[in-house]
Amino acid sequence: MTVGVGQAIRGEFPILAETAYLNACSQGALSHRVRAAYLEYLAGWDANGAEWEHWVERAETARSAFARLLGATPAEIAVTTSVTQGVSGVVSALDLRARPRIVVSEHEFPTVGQIAHAQELRGAEVVHVRAAADGSIPLEAFAEAIDERTALVCCTSLSYRTGHRHDIAGIARLAHEQGALVLADSYQAIGAIAFDAPALGVDFVTGGTVKYLLASAGLGFLYVRAGLVPGLLPSQTGWFADEDIFQMDISDYSPAPDARRFDAGTPPVPNIYAGVAGMALVEEAGVGAIEAHVAGLTSHLIAGLDELGATVITPRDPVHRGPLVCVRSRDVEALVAALAAERVVCSSRDGSLRVAPHLYNVEDDIDRLLACLRTHRALLA
């Protein structure tokens, strides 16, 4: 049964006492442990003022936790404030004169597409890879877009719009055959599915803690494949990206020898406290166990949606989906509001209801949602 993981952790999340919270794709539920981490930060600040030595140690603890979740080493991880910072740092290190093309999939979060198009000011040519009729983006579509002029291929591990899971390893192979680098935005994946960045062959991975890593906004990561670092000199930089942050030298640019060169200025200390606490919950449960647990919940959900005659646009095969299930609606904002009025929290995107369970959910949450959807069947497509 899928209830084991959920029942074991449920008491950690106060919102679950009254609410079927199924919105991890937007924001993970707040735990007692994350709330306590914020209070720990405030207590230390109150007692000691600037605790920079401890705050820097907390940042390194977060770096190590991100590394474990990606199957990487700490030297391959930059601690960022957001995906935006990580992606901006990557593109700032690209030589777009010899290779001006940046390929982005239609499933990218706006941040990635907007940053790519901003490089048009530097002479970039941005090419979009379109989705097929079923919402998937086949490898053939990427193959048509990638050529010898391509500097970077951007692909999302899991689509925030449809729930499709992409063949990241296959996309990486296609890109590398043409000498291009690959960036996988994995915000919807890390903490929800087992992830091994080196095994996938990707060059960069981005993500953060606000969703399945159970913490807050304001903390993210950038994975940079170790062998790439010497050849990447980001022009977007900051104090904590220097090889010696305590030298306080303003006379030159001396980036750190590892992925820390993609760090920036003062780290987001309060969010790091929360991030370390949230990631600890995920690691204690085990991402493999979380993935299996959520796959059972989503299968139960899809079966129930089929009984309602709903239009599910997320793949049915668990191999091709993650924790997010999207179902068409005639008026999705009205549906989200109707569910919220009954203390069932979901979200919307592109005319679809998005349902995103996590480790703390159980089948009763899914059944409660399905019962509400029966009541509001007229709002489903």
Mean pLDDT, 10 residues at a time, the chain of 381 residues:
69 97 98 98 91 89 98 98 96 96 96 97 97 91 97 97 95 98 97 97 98 97 96 93 88 93 93 98 96 97 97 94 97 98 97 97 98 97 93
The C-alpha atoms of residue 184 and residue 178 are separated, in whole angstroms, by 17
Q: pLDDT tens digits for 239-250? A: 899 998 888 889
Which structural domains are found in the chain, ordered by start?
A: 3-30+286-376 (3.90.1150.10), 35-282 (3.40.640.10)
The C-alpha atoms of residue 373 and residue 332 are separated, in whole angstroms, by 12
Q: pLDDT tens digits for 224-236? A: 999 999 999 999 9
- Minimal CA–CA distance to 111: which of 75, 87, 81, 134? 87
CA 87 to chain centre: 13
Contacts of 285 (CB under 8 A, 6+ apart): 5, 8, 9, 359
Encoding tokens for residue 248? 């306080």
The C-alpha atoms of residue 330 and residue 381 are separated, in whole angstroms, by 5
Q: Are 65 and 279 in contact (CB under 8 A)?
A: yes
- Minimal CA–CA distance to 338: which of 312, 303, 374, 364? 374
Q: Are 121 and 93 in contact (CB under 8 A)?
A: no
* % residues pLDDT > 70 (the chain): 99
Q: Are 231 and 181 in contact (CB under 8 A)?
A: no
10 Å Cβ neighbour count for 238?
16
